[in-house]
Structure 1
């Protein structure tokens, strides 16, 4: 069986090699590139992200990354966002009083966590909804987070017209935030699966497995 092709999108957001290696171990053939057509044509697209929301959006727009994401999703082609790569999928981010427009695949705002200790750094459990494919077999595991900002409320209302996304939550010092989303071809995690040991490896395998059937 031929390995699914995955592009890890290179738009200037660091620590890409660990993501490439992790997805390769999950069973995919991986290319690290900013090329528009390659990113559009791959079986799966992984959008990483570390650092500031505004800087990530500027880097993404510089390679027309928001158009790549939008066109893939319009065609039902899988996309996985990680950390800030998840955050930029929402409508906007607010950092230090500066508001930045995101990709607007989901309504909502990325804002500073309201916890006494920030950043949220280290291992944490998550609350997984029934029917999750991403967390199949790893519902009770811990995952590695490092972030000061997050999405603290889920705003998308489907009114049963479309299948509602599966939203996984986590909590840090009493503040609840979105830890992951599964929305048809669009998946995203606030934590770093590539840094989350066996549990993160299993989640990436679950994603790569969907590429074989999409």
Structure 2
């Protein structure tokens, strides 16, 4: 089977686009990158020929077909290379992976956003407490992951054991931005690192952020702090 020609439309600072970047790195898939500047209006050719909504990432396949939305782009790349083992083959693990990603986006990420990007002390304090509660629930989801024989439950800190998989990949860019909790409002009240109720989450976060593909897909903290300043209320 001939490998398809892939062109990734990407913005380095976008956490959603980073999902595609990580998938391409993990699979060693050859591709071309076209940078898209999200700080300015999208060029007409991008809206007309690639993505009418102007978002990234977008993936062009063999100079004709377009795949939009970060999870679908990353899943397509993962499917091209089953040998990389990013997508679980076990139906239960795949279902749990999808829910973990959904739960993060629906429950955890909105609260993280509120806690990070407000200068109002009372609002920030409320959001900090809400974030800790949500992370506690997420901590349980991590601990409840279905492990099969050979997943190395006792030694692996990734979601499904010692193997970096799609759940780790999909949430990694947002973990890489957790430092933003303290970037603008001196949010020292979030003592996540010392919270015993978040032990599994903290081990998982450290393992994911140590992954070379995640590190390569993450801009410097200085760059991210400046890029996200526009969100601060």
Q: TM-score, normalised by structure 1?
A: 0.29
Q: Which structure features the higher share of strand residues?
A: 1
